[in-house]
């Protein structure tokens, strides 16, 4: 297993899935995509090598935000939209914790949109599982900031008239350093992305295409279902040419400043023409283009799209404090009381 490069205290004890199972009854609907995400987390956490007491889960409000109750770690179930600042507080208070956020598309992009972009901009070292079911589940089916235009929901009986966010584009527009997109029906992809997110120093956003079987069933069907995934799902890997299709005969080529779909062997296209993915590229240009792609003319891109190295907010906080302690003669309150303009009255 890869070495995870951050400051969370590690353990030599081999942990099990059972170390993270909580005694709470999981109350998501049968068939909800959230169950699979929980299974992935229970698979990933014991393998990260951290002490089990060093995990802290934070969430907002929504079906997805019930997550912390279902994992046996330290956890705080917050208020709607505010998981990101709560998590920021936990991480800055104790940077030796592995902090994970569970949030919904409404929680993080509507009511919590402001916190979402600012947390990403600061690059606080937390891992965010963004359950994108393109709907407000808990409040029973109103449209969300990711619901596609024209979609009929409980609060848009005549179809929505709003342009949805593309989460990857938003993340990178906010100077995000890590973005991955994964489907809820592929445990391998989920666990891989979670490992990478944990490894990454900075705000890691994983957009999880999650199915809400009750209020937005099959919202992602056109892309991630068995019958559509070959054509519409393109799973990318760092350092490899970006190929897709049933027999991996199609690929993405950079033509000028645009991406285009090409076919190997057609019009003299060879593997050398295909764009090779570099998720570590500090320049987000190509990453944004990849995040934006989607049907009908392109496949949707999955996997870790961006993972760039930038200093994290919490590391910088510690660094400034270290410098402050080094440079200032005021090491405790009694020094502060004596500093500045004071005079004695006898």
Partner 1 sequence: MTKMNRPVEERESVVVKFVGDSGDGMQFSGNLFSESAAFAGNDLATFPDFPSEIRAPQNTIAGVSGFQVHVGSAKIYTTGDLCDVIVAMNPASLKANLKWAKVGATLIVDSDAFDDKTIDKAGYTSNPLEDKSLTKYNLLKAPITLLTIESLADLGVDRKIASRSKNMFALGMLFFIFNRPLKPSFKFFDAKFKKDPNLARINKVVLEAGYNYADTVEAIESVIHVSAAKLEPGFYRNITGNVATAWGLLAAAEKSKRGLFLGSYPITPATEILMELTKHKSLGAKVFQAEDEIAGICSAIGASYAGKMACTTTSGPGLSLKSEAIGLAVITELPLVIVNVQRGGPSTGLPTKSEQSDLYQALFGRNGECPVIVIAASTSDNCFHYAYMAAKLSMEHMTPCILLTDGYLGFGSSLFKNPRLANLPPINPPVAKARDKNYKPYKRDPETLAREWAIPGTDGLRHRIGGLEKENITGVVTTDPLNHQLMVNLRAEKVARVANYIPEQEVEGPTKGELLIVSWGGTYGAIHSAIQEMTRAGKKISHTHFNYINPLPKNTGKILKSFKKVLVCELNSGQFVNYLRMQFPMPNIHQFNKVQGLPFMINELTEKFNQLLEEK
Ligand X SMILES: Cc1ncc(C[n+]2csc(CCOP(=O)(O)OP(=O)(O)O)c2C)c(N)n1
**Of these, 59, 72, 88, 144, which contacts ligand X (CB under 6 A)?**
144
DSSP-assigned letters across all residues of 73-119: SEEEE--TT-HHHHHHHHHHH-TTSEEEEEEEHHIIIIITHHHHHHH
Q: Which of residues 19-58 bind partner 1 (CB under 8 A)?
A: 22, 24, 52-54, 56-58
Rounded distance, CA 281 to CA 138, Å?
38
Bond prior to 212 in cis (omega within 30° of 0): no
Measure the CA dihedral 119/125/131/136, to 10°: -30
**Of these, 34, 36, 90, 194, which contacts partner 1 (CB under 8 A)?**
90
Of 54 and 133, which CB lies nearer to Mg ion in the complex structure? 133
Angle at 210 between CA 208 and CA 211, to 5 degrees: 170
Q: Which of residues 86-125 bind ligand X (CB under 6 A)?
A: 104-107
123: nearest Cα among 205, 185, 38, 49? 205
Residue 107 interaction partner, one of ligand X, ligand SF4, partner 1, none, beta carbon < 5-8 Å per kind: ligand X
Q: Which residue has the tokens 């809820």?
A: 184
Taking the complex as a whole, the smallest distance from the CB of residue 137 to ligand SF4 amounts, in Å, to: 3
Q: Is 137 in the site for ligand X (CB under 6 A)?
A: yes
Q: Is 133 in the site for ligand SF4 (CB under 6 A)?
A: yes
Window contacting ligand X (CB under 6 A); options: 136-144, 156-164, 289-297, 305-313: 136-144
Residue 32 interaction partner, one of ligand X, Mg ion, ligand SF4, none, beta carbon < 5-8 Å per kind: ligand SF4
Beta bridge partners of 243: 251
Window contacting ligand SF4 (CB under 6 A); options: 68-76, 207-215, 274-282, 304-312: 207-215
Angle at 245 between CA 243 and CA 247, to 5 degrees: 90
Length of the chain: 346
Pull the structure tokens for residue 40. 């992935």
Per-residue interface string for the shown chain with Mg ion, residues 118-157, x marking contact by CB under 5 A:
---------------x------------------------
Of 133 and 232, which CB lies nearer to Mg ion in the complex structure? 133
Q: Is 16 in the site for partner 1 (CB under 8 A)?
A: no
127: nearest Cα among 63, 72, 67, 215? 67
Taking the complex as a whole, the smallest distance from the CB of residue 103 to partner 1 amounts, in Å, to: 13
19: nearest Cα among 48, 62, 61, 58? 48
Interface residues toward ligand SF4, by CB under 6 A: 28-29, 32, 34, 63, 133, 137, 212-215
Interface residues toward ligand X, by CB under 6 A: 61-64, 80, 104-107, 131, 133, 135-139, 144
């Amino acid at each position: 297993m890869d070495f995870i490069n951050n400051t969370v205290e590690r353990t030599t004890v081999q942990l099990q899935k059972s170390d993270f199972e909580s005694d709470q009854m999981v109350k998501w609907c049968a068939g909800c995509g959230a169950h699979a995400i929980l299974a992935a987390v229970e698979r990933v956490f014991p393998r990260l090598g951290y002490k089990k007491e060093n995990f802290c889960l934070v969430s907002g409000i929504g079906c997805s935000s019930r997550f912390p109750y279902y994992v046996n770690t330290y956890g705080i179930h917050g208020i709607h939209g505010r998981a990101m600042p709560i998590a920021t507080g936990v991480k800055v208070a104790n940077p030796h914790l592995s902090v994970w956020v569970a949030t919904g598309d409404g929680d993080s992009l509507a009511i919590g949109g402001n916190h979402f972009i600012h947390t990403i901009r600061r690059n606080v070292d937390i891992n965010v599982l963004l359950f994108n079911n393109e709907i407000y589940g808990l409040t029973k089916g109103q449209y969300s900031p990711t619901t596609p235009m024209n979609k009929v929901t409980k609060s848009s009986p005549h179809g929505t008239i709003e342009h949805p966010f593309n989460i990857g584009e938003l993340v990178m527009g906010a100077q995000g350093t890590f973005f991955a997109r994964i489907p809820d029906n592929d445990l391998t992809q989920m666990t891989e992305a979670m490992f990478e997110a944990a490894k990454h120093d900075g705000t890691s956003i994983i957009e999880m295409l999650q199915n809400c079987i009750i209020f937005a069933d099959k919202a992602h069907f056109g892309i991630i279902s068995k019958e559509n995934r070959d054509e519409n799902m393109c799973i990318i890997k760092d350092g490899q040419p970006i190929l897709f299709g049933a027999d991996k005969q199609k690929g993405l080529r950079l033509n000028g400043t645009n991406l285009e779909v090409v076919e190997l062997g057609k019009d003299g296209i060879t593997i050398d023409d295909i764009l090779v993915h570099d998720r570590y590229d500090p320049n987000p240009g190509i990453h944004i283009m990849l995040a934006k792609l989607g049907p009908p003319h392109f496949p949707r891109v999955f996997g870790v799209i961006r993972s760039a190295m930038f200093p994290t907010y919490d590391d910088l906080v510690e660094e400034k404090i270290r410098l402050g302690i080094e440079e200032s003669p005021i090491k405790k309150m009694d020094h502060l009381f004596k500093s500045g303009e004071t005079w004695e009255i006898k």
